[in-house]
Amino acid sequence: MELVFFYILAAGALLGALLLVCYFRNPVYGAISLIFTLLNLSGLFVLLDAHFLAAIQVMVYAGAIMVLFLFVTMLLNLQEDELGGPRYGAGKLLAVVGVAFLTWQLAVVLMRDSGPVPGFDVKTLPAAQMETFGTVEQVGRLLFGDFLVPFELTSVLILAAIVASVVIAKKRI
């Protein structure tokens, strides 16, 4: 039964990411489709017993950041004629073929019969590390310890994007 849920959630995430987000010309529809994709990814985290990551995925990404993106996109107030016509072309076809090829290569490497891929085998982790793996405490230690600088740089990058979009929208008002 778990495998069935995995395939449903994986198909939903791929459908949302590949088709819906890239298909819509209107950025608001694309952002809503991205929320659909993020909710499917949250379901995949639940299947991996990473309930904390699933909750954070919904609260932080699907909740806060996507609302922020929608707010900024709606602040820009793009009209239908400003979006341009449909953008079909060789570039999109090439991108789809490239993503399909990379996905196939990743599946081949991860499903090979010659043993586990080095670095991806969780059976080699010490038992003490496995007990704390994915807990709130462990995630907090990593986020505010080893990954503090990338965490802060991400927040500065998001702030710069917000300021830039407000400046662009201010010129139109």
Domain count, the chain: 3
When pLDDT is cut at 50, 70 and 90, the band that residue 108 belongs to is: confident
13 and 79 co-located in one domain: yes
Residue 89's pLDDT is: 72
Residue 148's pLDDT is: 93
54 and 106 co-located in one domain: no
Please name which of 29, 25, 165 lies closest in space to residue 81, comparing C-alpha atoms.
Answer: 25
Domain limits for position 116: 89-124
28-39 pLDDT per residue, tens: 777 788 888 889
64 and 96 co-located in one domain: no
Please name which of 72, 51, 71, 69 lies closest in space to residue 61, comparing C-alpha atoms.
Answer: 69
138 and 172 co-located in one domain: yes
When pLDDT is cut at 50, 70 and 90, the band that residue 81 belongs to is: low
14 and 77 co-located in one domain: yes
pTM: 0.59
* φ, ψ (nearest 5 deg) of residue 51: -65, -35
- The residue with greater pLDDT, 161 or 29, is 161
When pLDDT is cut at 50, 70 and 90, the band that residue 48 belongs to is: confident
114 and 134 co-located in one domain: no
- Tokens for 160, please give them: 């710069």
